[in-house]
A and B are shown apart, each in its own frame.
Chain A
Amino acid sequence: MSSRSLNWSLLKTSVKIDMHYRFRVLIWMAMSAIWVMVYPVVWLAVYGDRTELSGFSRSDLLTYFIGILVMEYLAQSYVDEDMHEEIREGKISALLLKPVHFVRYFFFVHIGYKLLPLGVYAVLITLGVSVLDIPFSLPTQWYTLPVFACTVVIGHLIAYNLKMILACAAFWIEEAEPLRVLYWIVCNLFMGWMGPLVFFPLWFQQLSTHLPWQYTAYFPIMIFLENVTVGAMTYGIAVSVVWLGIAVAVRHVVVRYSIRRYNAVGS
């Protein structure tokens, strides 16, 4: 089987699993939607009578959170959750025997899992914006969408590699759940899940510029909203590429050493 057809098969299998466990997918979608819908409501309450806050109009804010909802599927990765259980219960043994590396396996399987929810969201958002007249800011510059697409891909690769490093913790410690929760908190704070980072204190904004998480959600959305200058955009892309390089290198080393420690449950 060629490399491309193998990737395609993994994608198709995930979509089929999603189609089979439709209610499970629905729960994930409902969960993300509830979480993402709460923050704009709270922020709009904070706006009060003001039309904008830190340069963000109400329309920008709603677009931002629709973006966060989409980025949750486009750029984020939850590979750690699956891998954690596979390692703990020894099920990863079967995966290690397959002629495909588990890093690649999980990458395509997880992309496959995103396709169905993304399709549903695309329909719902289009309906919401066109029928219900939800304010939505569309880009005006020709280069915005291609740059946005590039940052989404980079963001996803950063998120995936960081989560793979986190997932490997299960090779070293028995219960990695607290570490995952801690990562979730840090990641959500710095990726802009709770609100645009311009709403945060200045020290927090400066700190987040040097950390990888904002490049997995906040930065691409700001590009979509055309809320960054060309200079800041170039700088942001450069930093995110550096973080991608670091994440890939660290993931490579961590995976290599982690597998050596693996001795499977019951063996």
Chain B
Amino acid sequence: MRILTLWLHYIRTSLIRHMEFRAQFFVNVALGFVWLGFMFFTAHLFFLHTNEIHGWTEIEVDILITSWAIVGSCVQAFFWAGLSEMTAQITNGRFDFYFVRPVHALWQIIFSRFQPAQVVEMCAYGILLVLFLAHSAIDVTFIGLTIYIALLFCALLIRLSILLMLETLSFWFVNIENVKYLYYSIVDVGRYPTVIFRSAEVLFLTVIPIAYLGNVQTLFLVGEESWQLLIATLLVTVISVSVATGFFHWGARRYSSASS
């Protein structure tokens, strides 16, 4: 309960801060829509030359991109601003503050900042998903939708784990603020059907779990589900979260502040 109150307090202070720069908020919302247009333009470009890519039709790819983007904007809204600052804070020693407060450092890093513009973006993606499903012949069942939402939550945890693992590298390497761009380039692969990567698909289903950031969810939604895939997703999520938090704790033990 105390944690929830603290999180709501973080949300409130972030909102107040963002409302001070209202123009910035609208610019970020507008930028989100430009980004959305860019992603669908890319997908449309591929389908100018073909009707399907390794069995994936255009509408299925659109659903894949939307699913991928819903999770992406959720990460951006609730977790990105705090986590992506980790490298800079470790480099300049401000990370000390997280350890002296009576709440777990990792919890503070993940939940301390909130970006409201990305919530608008997330809602837009949600509406788009409904529109895509309405215009397709896909028959969505209640169970299918429930599993889809649960799998989106798994995708969220996997994304956070990837970001946390990359940011944790800052405990060993100095001045690597660019690691957040590496995160973008890694997760960006997840907005394409991973089947096109042929032999690398195995890699994306195991070591670098980007197949679970949108591909698996879309397969379940379009009715190409398999129980093996569902179990694999749950398993990969648990492993990713465990490895990421374990890696963070291991790295945190090395932390000696910037000036000490």
Task: State A79–B179 Cα separation when bound (angstroms).
Answer: 18
- State the Cβ distance, B182 to closest chain A Cβ, in Å: 5
B231, CB-defined interface residue at 8 Å: no
Q: Is the CB of A199 within 8 A of B189?
A: no
**Which residue among B21, B41, B49, B169 has the maximum number of chain A CB atoms within 10 Å of its CB?**
B49
Task: State A99–B49 Cα separation when bound (angstroms).
Answer: 55
**Which chain A residues numbered 163 to 204 have a C-beta less than 8 Å away from chain B?**
174-175, 178, 181-182, 185, 189, 194-195, 199-201
B3, CB-defined interface residue at 8 Å: no
Total interface residues on A, CB under 8 Å, equals 32
Number of A-B contacts (CB under 8 A): 79
Q: Is the CB of B34 within 8 A of A185?
A: yes
- State the Cβ distance, B146 to closest chain A Cβ, in Å: 31
Give 1 or 0 for each of A9-36: 1 = CB within 8 Å of chain B CB. 0000000000001011001101110110
**Which residue among A45, A182, A195 has the maximum number of chain B CB atoms within 10 Å of its CB?**
A45
Q: Which of B48, B50, B173 contacts A23 (CB 8 A)?
A: B173
- State the Cβ distance, B208 to closest chain A Cβ, in Å: 10
Q: Which of B35, B46, B49, B181 contacts A185 (CB 8 A)?
A: B35
B107, CB-defined interface residue at 8 Å: no
Q: Which residues of B contact A185 (CB under 8 A)?
A: 34-35, 38
Q: Is the CB of B50 within 8 A of A46?
A: yes
**Which chain B residues numbered 182 to 215 have a C-beta less than 8 Å away from chain A?**
182, 184-186, 188-189, 192, 196-197
Task: Of the listed stretches B24-32, B64-72, B130-138, B150-158, name the one at the interface; the rest are far from the partner chain.
Answer: B24-32
Task: State A158–B169 Cα separation when bound (angstroms).
Answer: 36
Q: Which of A30, A44, A46 contacts B182 (CB 8 A)?
A: A30
Q: How large is the interface on B (under 10, 10 to 19, 20 to 34, 35 or more residues)?
A: 35 or more
Given A21-B174, A23-B176, A178-B27: A31 and B181 within 8 A (CB)?
A: yes
Task: State A199–B41 Cα separation when bound (angstroms).
Answer: 13
A96, CB-defined interface residue at 8 Å: no
B175, CB-defined interface residue at 8 Å: yes
Q: Is the CB of A42 within 8 A of B28?
A: no
**Which chain A residues numbered 252 to 266 have a C-beta less than 8 Å away from chain B?**
none
Q: Is the CB of B24 within 8 A of A175?
A: yes
Chain B residue at smallest Cβ distance from A201: B48
Task: State A54–B24 Cα separation when bound (angstroms).
Answer: 42
Q: Which residues of B line the A interface, CB within 8 A? A: 21, 24, 27-28, 30-31, 34-35, 38, 41-42, 45-46, 48-50, 53-54, 169, 173-176, 178-179, 181-182, 184-186, 188-189, 192, 196-197
In the assembled complex, 22 residue pairs joining A and B whose CB atoms fall closer than 8 Å, in A order, are: A23-B176, A24-B173, A27-B178, A27-B181, A31-B178, A31-B182, A32-B185, A34-B185, A38-B188, A42-B53, A44-B196, A45-B196, A54-B49, A174-B24, A178-B24, A178-B30, A181-B35, A185-B34, A185-B38, A189-B41, A194-B42, A195-B45
